[in-house]
Structure 1
Amino acid sequence: MQADFSYEPVCDGAGCQLGVTILADREVLREQMREDAVAAGFRVMECCGLDEYASGSVGSLGDLVLVDCVAADAGVMALLSRLDMRAGKSGAQLVVSTGMDALDTVFGCFAVSGAQILVDPGRAERIVAIGRVLAHVPNLRLRELAEEDRLMLLRLTEQVGKMAERLERLSPGQRAGGGAFRLEAAADAWRAAGDEYVAHGGASPRPALPDASVIRAVIRNRQERARYFDPELFADPAWDILLDLAAARAERKRVSVTSLCIAAGVPATTALRWISQMVELGLLLRIPDPLDRRRAHIALSDDTADAMARYFAETRAAVAAPMAAAL
């Protein structure tokens, strides 16, 4: 796929063209990323393999950093963590592509920069990710845009808006002035207890979640629909994520990012976007692995667990009432 759109050069407030750093070991992919970044209006500052960049002198980081990382050994993890810290301080935008095998490791390296993480993406997905970066550049203008492309962008904008609205409605106890894309640290404190995560903090009593077997049965029933209907008819990643994490909390188990992406029932890149937005909202918590601080797990916040417990309590009561009346 050849990028068939062209932007005016992307410039900062001083009129300087923004730069891009491209890091990829696969040469063909590296050249594709270069072509697409240039077509989008960026100036290429660096384009090389990960090891080459890591071994070179530390220079300025591009305003956009495109990284392809299919395997993450200790050296690569160290580089990714440095990029995360530098981008977090400088405001650079990171777009990182990886595979499912390396997802947990790569995800754990990015805690502060808000990196877009793509899983086994095609070229089109990378272009969309660059487009999301461009959406935050003020006064950007397209030189040429076909009508069908314009309609596609409108549909994408509408979908993102609907996603934000759905998450806003899901958020329990939304803080005054908070929006669907509000960045805020989680208020709950967590500690590791053996292989479990135990929440502590708020004094208000919370109803207990049902037994994990009850929640797993709900998940199995949802999955059973795929035997009879197209699964895309019922795609609801936010709810599937909440159900899986509720079951894991009842089982007192940790959940990896890879496992949660599978449970979401949508492509992994899409699942990661939902997870990121739900973490930003405070619905979910990102918890560093106590045995390896470079890795992270995902869990329900206490408020979200409370909302899920109340949901199950109310739905069980609604089912039990007609049954009792019939006796």
Structure 2
Amino acid sequence: MGEAKQVGEDFRYDIAQDSAGLPARVAIFADRPRMREEIAEDLTGAGFRTVDGGEIAALLDGPITLLGDVVMVDCPVLDGRSLASLARLDMRIARSGAQLIVVTSLDALDDIFAVLDQSRPQILVEPSRAERVVAVGRTLANVSSARVREMSEEDRMALLRLSQQVDGIAQELDRISLADAPASQRLSDHKREFRDSGEPLTGGHSAGPRSAYPPLPDPRMVRQMLAARQARARFFDGELFADPAWDMLLDLTAAHAEHQRVSVTSLCIAAGVPATTALRWVKQMVESGIFERIADRSDKRRAFIALSERSVEAMARYFAEVEMPLAQAA
């Protein structure tokens, strides 16, 4: 099952690939012993060495020792103690240069996203066993690529598209054994729970008139476009038309005009792809400056996603340019 070591006295970070070419090591934290065993079994079978980190509380109660390139935390249910543990781990991971993968549920996604604001983790929403293994491999591949050369914007977008294809393979491998519907099929049941029409956004997100560029279109028209795009999945294979980046841009454009704040869960719904895939796109769009992560001033446990100022301008100019064809089509 891999190495069954517990966390030690001092925080340290060991490079997974040493001079002997040993396989990468993954530290596993989970409150459920059976889950730690299952993850370790799958990763060991894929050629990784594993370290049993113990329960999530170990991240809070004692010194943290990371024994690998990757730390995987299984946290489907959150309470105050586990949130504090993750916050501490997030800080340590950011300082160490290790990579963090967090496995969680759809219900806990917004809290997980809000608390992990430093380490740039990979978040998996109710993944299959194959998806967990793929996530570790992808994370290590990304690290290796970054060490060889600085990835260009084109390279990173190509990697995201490749990751989507890998996800599709993993889902197909586990399709027969899944007892419950995947989270991506249940996203629509939660769709309006995660909209917040509270206080207007401030800073670069005011929906007030701008003199430098055209106004945004009527949000009802934008939502009609989004609904029409999503309707295609009822008649054709949704993967034929999957374009999560554009669907999220449309959703955030409408929300900006409506003075609505958008949670990461809601944005995953708009993307029309599995939540784990959508989260990687959100991460890339934030890193590219297309989206911005906005902390909730009244509740630090929450965070929202919004268009950056330059993206608001770009969408306004786009709709101004296509306004005539849209009007003719209507």
**Residue 216 to residue 127, structure 1, CA distance change in 2 (3 Å):** same
Distance 2:142 2:238 in 1: 33
The secondary structure found in structure 2 opposite 1:105 is: helix
Show the 5 A alignment for 1:20-59.
Answer: 20-39=26-45, 42-55=48-61, 57-59=62-64
**Residue 211 to residue 95, structure 1, CA distance change in 2 (3 Å):** same
Q: Give CA deviations for 1:275-307 in whole Å, capped at 9, x if unaligned.
A: 111111001001111111232100001111111
Q: Which has the higher strand share?
A: 1
2:284 maps to: 277
**Residue 137 to residue 238, structure 1, CA distance change in 2 (3 Å):** closer
Q: Does 2:266 match 1:268? A: no
Residue in structure 1 matching 2:248, options 241, 248, 253 = 241
Residue in structure 1 matching 2:109, options 93, 97, 103 = 103
The secondary structure found in structure 1 opposite 2:260 is: coil
Distance 1:255 1:138 in 2: 34
Query: Is the CA contact 1:34–1:47 (under 8 Å) kept in the aligned structure 2?
Result: no
2:94 maps to: 88
2:192 maps to: none
Q: Does 2:83 match 1:77? A: yes
1:25 is matched by which residue type in structure 2?
A: D
Residue in structure 2 matching 1:224, options 208, 231, 248 = 231
Name stretches of at least 5 consecutive residues in structure 2 with no aligned partner. 2-14, 146-154, 163-196
Query: Is the CA contact 1:10–1:42 (under 8 Å) kept in the aligned structure 2?
Result: no
2:66 is matched by which residue type in structure 1?
A: L
The secondary structure found in structure 1 opposite 2:253 is: helix
Q: Give CA deviations for 1:178-225 in whole Å, capped at 9, x if unaligned.
A: xxxxxxxxxxxxxxx961113349x97122101211111111222232
2:65 is matched by which residue type in structure 1?
A: S
1:246 is matched by which residue type in structure 2?
A: T
Distance 1:13 1:58 in 2: 28
Q: Does 2:313 match 1:309? A: no
Distance 2:108 2:51 in 1: 27
1:82 is matched by which residue type in structure 2?
A: R
Query: Is the CA contact 1:199–1:302 (under 8 Å) kept in the aligned structure 2?
Result: no
Residue in structure 1 matching 2:70, options 39, 64, 70 = 64
Q: Under a length normalisation based on structure 1, what TM-score does the superposition of the two structures give?
A: 0.73
The secondary structure found in structure 1 opposite 2:73 is: strand
Query: Is the CA contact 1:81–1:109 (under 8 Å) kept in the aligned structure 2?
Result: yes
Q: Does 2:200 match 1:196? A: yes
Distance 1:159 1:279 in 2: 13
> Shift of residue 321 of structure 1?
7.6
Larger radius of gyration: 1
Percent sequence identity is 51
Query: Is the CA contact 2:59–2:86 (under 8 Å) kept in the aligned structure 1?
Result: no
**Residue 37 to residue 224, structure 1, CA distance change in 2 (3 Å):** closer
Distance 2:284 2:160 in 1: 13
Query: Is the CA contact 2:60–2:88 (under 8 Å) kept in the aligned structure 1?
Result: no
1:86 is matched by which residue type in structure 2?
A: R
Q: Give CA deviations for 1:151-173 in whole Å, capped at 9, x if unaligned.
A: xxxxxx99944739xxxxxxxxx
1:124 is matched by which residue type in structure 2?
A: A
**Residue 118 to residue 138, structure 1, CA distance change in 2 (3 Å):** closer
The secondary structure found in structure 1 opposite 2:90 is: helix
Distance 1:10 1:35 in 2: 18
Distance 1:272 1:112 in 2: 16
**Residue 136 to residue 311, structure 1, CA distance change in 2 (3 Å):** closer
> Shift of residue 29 of structure 1?
1.9
1:198 is matched by which residue type in structure 2?
A: T
Query: Is the CA contact 2:59–2:89 (under 8 Å) kept in the aligned structure 1?
Result: no
2:234 is matched by which residue type in structure 1?
A: R
Q: Does 2:215 match 1:208? A: yes
> Shift of residue 311 of structure 1?
1.2
Q: How many residues align?
A: 270
> Shift of residue 263 of structure 1?
0.9
Distance 1:283 1:158 in 2: 14
